[in-house]
Structure 1
Amino acid sequence: MMPTQFGSGFVNMDMKTHLRAGLWSGIFTGLLVGFIESTFLLFNTGSFLANFPFFIRASLLYALAGAVGGMALAVLLKNSLLRTPSQGEEPILSLPADKLKSFYVSILLPFSLFVGIGAYLLDIVFPLLSRNFSTFFYLALTGLFSIILGVGLFKFFPLSKLGSERSWFIPVSFMVLAVVYQGMLLGAERGELRGYTSRKSPAPPPKPNVLLIVMDTTRADHFSSYGYRKPTTPHIDKLAKEGRLFTNAIAPSSWTIPSHASLFTGVYSSKHGMGYLNSYLSEDLPTLAEILSKNGYRSLSIYNNPFAGEMVGLSRGFDKAIGVDLDHRTSLTIERLFQRLVYNDVGSNARETVDAASNWIATTAKTGLPYFAFVHFNDPHTPYRAREPYFTEFKKDINLNQVDLSKVAQVNAHRRSFHKYLNGEVQLSSADFEYLKALYDSEIRSVDEQIGRLMDSLKEKGFLKNTLVIVTADHGEYIGEHQWMSHQFLYNTVLRIPMVFWYPEQIPPGIETRYVSLVDILPTVLSVAGLKDQIPVHTQGMNLLPEGSQGINLVSLTGPRTVFSEWWSWVPADTDQSSPNKSKALLKFTKEAAKDIATKAIFDGDWKFIWLSNGKHELYNLANDPEEQRNLIEAEPEKAQELQAKLEQWLGSFQQARVTSGSGKKEFKDMLKSLGYVQ
């Protein structure tokens, strides 16, 4: 092999010289990359996360990683391309001795930047199911940039004295300049925060903080506090024991957008139109965050599902909105890789979510302002991933010999895989579904652990004083029930959600059995905050606090309560929802299809009536048939007519949603496809 000639004297250096060069080149590269990443995160998220300790940690982590990587590279190259040739053998690569450190930096720095930028492209710009030719084009462009940078560093960046006894000024000078620059940026951020605080100083008495935790795709009957046989939620169970547990909380819809819109506006889907008529929240509907922010609260939305954030207008009113690994990066690349390898957090952002929320609350608490933090976890969503050690524990009672792991893998490979079961391509046994449930349960348990970590952290720092904590979900999940997977239609498997209120010394512990809904959150929170007069007149939820009570003591509700749920499907009007393989036509999202199948449910006492626009209505007595296995639509026609009349009366009591200018966005439809709602 002919050597690449750049000079002479390079290959004859001993291993010690190479290790020293690799060490110093790695430290230099690590410091530079740590500075770049922490500065990026400062502008991307804010000083509450990328503060000075974060900057120091980033510098130390990357300097250490660079040192290890540089020495490993030195060993690798010294024993391959840069090995000392045998007698009469031509060297593979020969370079001038004064270019040694430049050579190592020209490899380490471009490679580090390629990994960091590549990870950002794959995580944020092109998430898993939206990757296409553009993804590879930008990765190739990043690779080309890295190569050009490497060549430029080698040719024009002299580092021959880096690491010598008299050249400490290079890394020291860099660190001093970096610290000064970081301090200037943080100073500017804090100055902005002080101005913000002066504009929002709340009037006495101090208002309570509000921590609203939402677990995506989480059904109540898989919580141990709701009687589930597996210990899936020990930390939430503790909150439920000390607070108020609602056993009949009903989601206003069976999927993310309409349920979150109802949560933030206090109105049902027919009123806000989100998720079927509109892909963006109407400006006519004030949100909980808007009302609280106008009344002295500092507010945060940290979400892990794009359908709970900025893309659909649900971040409106929040002072800070962060889409973890969706719109924003909230941790260093090196930390992310470590967490995914050590904690098996592939596809999970729960740990980063808790870290970011905890830091933001700590920063806000120092301002003296009350906070409203919306913290959203998406982990229980498909595809289900084994979270250890919980999965090993939860699968113990499953006969693994009866599980067809190949079929399980086919329906659980990615977000759209469940369609293979719905369209009849893959048939699953009861053992297969039990295996999927064990995976699902392990994700719930993993999120519960992170919620416990968040609560412990805030409690230890004193940031839970005078704080209302609400834990709930946007909807549940089918795992074989009614021959469904994922979350469609309006059976209780996807509508019955957990709801826990925790406010020590203010809300007495207890269990509430009457129907409540996510639309009740807005009026209840505003009442707790002393803002009853700010509850919008169009609100369709109810204040779960007794009128005229002293303080904010929550007492057991009495009397009948009727709640509603709605879903607009993407299937033809002649589809039978109660038949197996019902969703072969769950293929395209169009407004025409959405109008063809409108599904609405009314809960009234022991009865539940499901109205379908195709006329195939269903009726269930939940007291006798909680699993909704016996459709009584023909056996109880009078009860069906009574409930349909109530439903129609309710729908006629308010102005229903109309199409707004934010509707029909291509990115909205593309996101529906990427998340598996349509094919």
Structure 2
Amino acid sequence: MKNRFITFLALASLFSSCVKMQTEDERKASPNLLFIFADQYRRASLGFLNEDPVNTPNLDSLASKGVFFSKAVANHPLCSPYRGMLLTGKYPLSNGVISNCNSARTEYGNYLKKEEICFSDVLVENGYSAGYVGKWHLDGPTPTAKGEPVVWDTWCPPDHRHGFSFWYAYGTHGRHNQPYYWATNSPEDEPVVVDQWSPEHEADILINYLRNSQQERDSDKPFAMFWSINPPHTPFDEVPEHYKKAYGNRNYREVLNRENVEFTSNRDVKGGDRGVEQKIHLAPDYFAMVEGVDDQIGRVIAELKRLDLYENTIIVFSADHGEMMGSHGLMHKNVWFKEAYEIPLIVHYPKALKAKTDDLLISVPDYMPTMLGLLGLGESIPQEVEGKDYSGVFTDEKIVRPDKQLYFGANPDNPGGGKRGFRNKEYTFAVSKGKDGEKYYYLYHDKEDPYQLTNIWGQNSELDQQMEQELEALLKDMNDPWL
């Protein structure tokens, strides 16, 4: 592949394989990478978009000076599948992480495999010191039989960490106010329990990592730090009071300003999370968490600047998936509507990239090859990767731009079931299979109906047929058992 990195960084050459290491001079010239992704953070909650009522000055600043991808989506809007796609550059059916990892799904191979060549593996093989902080949610707990309690969290042994030499993480839990973590050398039975809001505590850990006072990283190498922040994921009300104050006197009906919000559950949408009546009143707390996350990201950025690391650090902000928060009478994720499907994607590196907004139809498997291309490691992208290297976008090169983005939803015990669809520049199309095999169709003209209020399936038979044919061709190309 063509080296897409800016020439003034003076990288001596491209690398012919993942095992070819950088020279010392090349390492010194290479930028650091800080890849941040917040869980359940919807695109509309970026303050500069003026959609949700949030205040996010730090993310706004990153976007104003970086590249904002306005059409980024979570192809499978769920925690573990996003992480699997991000790290492997492959779609769920290929990497095996088809749904959220837990003990009921381990027997189906629903976890990140040790033999996968991951984003972090490639970085380490090319001279990076890699670290991971926060929620991992990619391991398979010991399988449990049907009817037994399902186990969600599990310890990740060092030989399953895919090159991350600094580790301060957990599988998955919802303890924002009293989180626990396994440190790099923590035994399985000795997690570190903390009485502190998790984003704030993790920011403290990252600040110490950057200072490197205890040799948390190899100071002779560039660092690649992946920070997975659990909030604004549920439980929404586990957020410090000083962040809640901004919304303390506002009713949830005031803050939910989207035209498609419904305050009772929508039974007409097959395959969406309901329970709106029990959860939607916590909307102010969700937005409070968004502001809190931005605040903690700002602390880390301030430390990068203080340590003179900011100018040579690529900062990426993304999210696992979005949050419906009452739109279409639904809660949470795992559905094709914009509120769950669309996610933030900001790439900030003013030293080499000019600020702009780009409407590339980028998918999560594209992140790994695109970032490797930006780092000058295009020739080290594993052959098995299904995503594409779109790093030419950063330097305004002419590229072949994708014309659609896959939407996928399934369980590992029935990979041919669930939901499938795609989005192009004009429409969102999705099909949901019921347990009896019956199909339910959803088609939205996003250009004319930005809040997706009207399902136009059945109004134009020619358009319907075109959508079905395009979806069939896409799934056939991916060897999807849905067909």
Q: TM-score of the superposition, structure 2-length normalised?
A: 0.74
Q: Distance in 2 between matches of 1:319 and 1:521?
A: 22
**Residue 436 of structure 2 is aligned to residue 634 of structure 1:** no
From 622, 634, 649, the equivalent of 2:473 is 649
1:162-186 Cα offsets, whole Å, 9 max, x none, are xxxxxxxxxxxxxxxxxxxxxxxxx
CA contact (8 A) 2:33 2:223 kept: yes
Q: Distance in 1 between matches of 2:273 and 2:233?
A: 17
Q: TM-score of the superposition, structure 1-length normalised?
A: 0.54
Cα drift, residue 305 of structure 1: 5.1
**For residue 236 of structure 2, what is the amino acid of its counterpart?**
Y
**For residue 169 of structure 2, what is the amino acid of its counterpart?**
G
Q: Distance in 1 between matches of 2:255 and 2:45?
A: 23
Q: Distance in 2 between matches of 1:438 and 1:217?
A: 15
Q: Please give the residue correspondences for 1:111-126 in structure 2 after superposition, counting only pairs within 5 Å.
A: none
1:356-401 Cα offsets, whole Å, 9 max, x none, are 1222233267622011100010021111124333322234443899
From 365, 376, 379, the equivalent of 1:533 is 379
Q: Which residue of 1 aligns with 2:425?
A: 605
Q: Distance in 2 between matches of 1:525 and 1:400?
A: 40
CA contact (8 A) 2:322 2:333 kept: yes
Q: Which residue of 1 aligns with 2:261?
A: none
Cα drift, residue 285 of structure 1: 3.4
Q: Which residue of 1 aligns with 2:135?
A: 304
The secondary structure found in structure 2 opposite 1:616 is strand
**For residue 538 of structure 1, what is the amino acid of its counterpart?**
E
CA contact (8 A) 2:312 2:351 kept: no
From 40, 48, 64, the equivalent of 1:225 is 48
Which one scores higher on RCO, CA 8 angstroms, separation ≥ 6? 2
Q: Please give the residue correspondences for 1:452-491 in structure 2 after superposition, counting only pairs within 5 Å.
A: 452-491=298-337
From 380, 392, 405, the equivalent of 2:245 is 392
Q: 1:650 to 1:452 in 2, by over 3 A?
A: same
Alignment coverage as a number of residue pairs = 403
Q: Which residue of 2 aligns with 1:158?
A: none
CA contact (8 A) 2:33 2:315 kept: yes
**Residue 235 of structure 2 is aligned to residue 235 of structure 1:** no
Q: 1:311 to 1:626 in 2, by over 3 A?
A: farther
User: By percentage of residues, which structure has more strand?
Assistant: 2
**Residue 119 of structure 2 is aligned to residue 288 of structure 1:** yes
Q: Which residue of 2 aligns with 1:577?
A: none
Q: Distance in 1 between matches of 2:421 and 2:255?
A: 37
**Residue 216 of structure 2 is aligned to residue 359 of structure 1:** no
Q: Which residue of 2 aligns with 1:344?
A: none
| Structure 1, unpaired ranges of 5+ | 1-198, 341-347, 404-410, 412-420, 570-590, 658-679
**For residue 630 of structure 1, what is the amino acid of its counterpart?**
T
From 367, 379, 386, the equivalent of 2:231 is 379
1:254-282 Cα offsets, whole Å, 9 max, x none, are 11111111111112223223134532223
Q: Distance in 1 between matches of 2:84 and 2:318?
A: 14
Q: Distance in 2 between matches of 1:326 and 1:279?
A: 24
CA contact (8 A) 2:54 2:287 kept: no
Cα drift, residue 655 of structure 1: 5.2
Cα drift, residue 351 of structure 1: 1.5
Q: Distance in 2 between matches of 1:631 and 1:264?
A: 35
Q: Distance in 2 between matches of 1:652 and 1:555?
A: 30
Q: 1:464 to 1:236 in 2, by over 3 A?
A: same
Q: Distance in 1 between matches of 2:319 and 2:192?
A: 32
The secondary structure found in structure 2 opposite 1:627 is coil
Q: 1:402 to 1:522 in 2, by over 3 A?
A: closer
CA RMSD of aligned residues (A): 3.5
User: By percentage of residues, which structure has more helix?
Assistant: 1
From 197, 208, 214, the equivalent of 2:37 is 214
The secondary structure found in structure 1 opposite 2:456 is coil
Cα drift, residue 203 of structure 1: 3.8
Q: Distance in 1 between matches of 2:55 and 2:138?
A: 26
| Structure 2, unpaired ranges of 5+ | 1-19, 100-107, 140-152, 171-178, 257-263, 265-271
From 484, 487, 492, the equivalent of 2:338 is 492
Q: 1:422 to 1:567 in 2, by over 3 A?
A: closer
Q: Distance in 1 between matches of 2:154 and 2:358?
A: 34
Q: 1:638 to 1:267 in 2, by over 3 A?
A: farther
1:406-448 Cα offsets, whole Å, 9 max, x none, are xxxxx9xxxxxxxxx9676x846xxx83x42211000010010
**Residue 144 of structure 2 is aligned to residue 320 of structure 1:** no
Cα drift, residue 355 of structure 1: 1.6
Q: Distance in 2 between matches of 1:648 and 1:568?
A: 16
Q: 1:382 to 1:533 in 2, by over 3 A?
A: same
The secondary structure found in structure 2 opposite 1:328 is strand
Q: Which residue of 1 aligns with 2:359?
A: 513
The secondary structure found in structure 1 opposite 2:284 is helix
Q: Distance in 2 between matches of 1:400 and 1:209?
A: 43
Q: Distance in 2 between matches of 1:438 and 1:392?
A: 10
Cα drift, residue 513 of structure 1: 2.0
**Residue 215 of structure 2 is aligned to residue 369 of structure 1:** no
Q: Distance in 2 between matches of 1:248 and 1:565?
A: 13
CA contact (8 A) 2:273 2:332 kept: no
Q: Distance in 1 between matches of 2:319 and 2:46?
A: 12
Q: Which residue of 1 aligns with 2:405?
A: 563
CA contact (8 A) 1:379 1:443 kept: yes
**For residue 646 of structure 1, what is the amino acid of its counterpart?**
E
Cα drift, residue 202 of structure 1: 4.2
Cα drift, residue 610 of structure 1: 0.5
CA contact (8 A) 1:304 1:349 kept: no
Q: 1:632 to 1:656 in 2, by over 3 A?
A: closer
Q: 1:493 to 1:369 in 2, by over 3 A?
A: same
**Residue 466 of structure 2 is aligned to residue 624 of structure 1:** no
The secondary structure found in structure 2 opposite 1:543 is coil
Cα drift, residue 231 of structure 1: 3.5
Cα drift, residue 402 of structure 1: 13
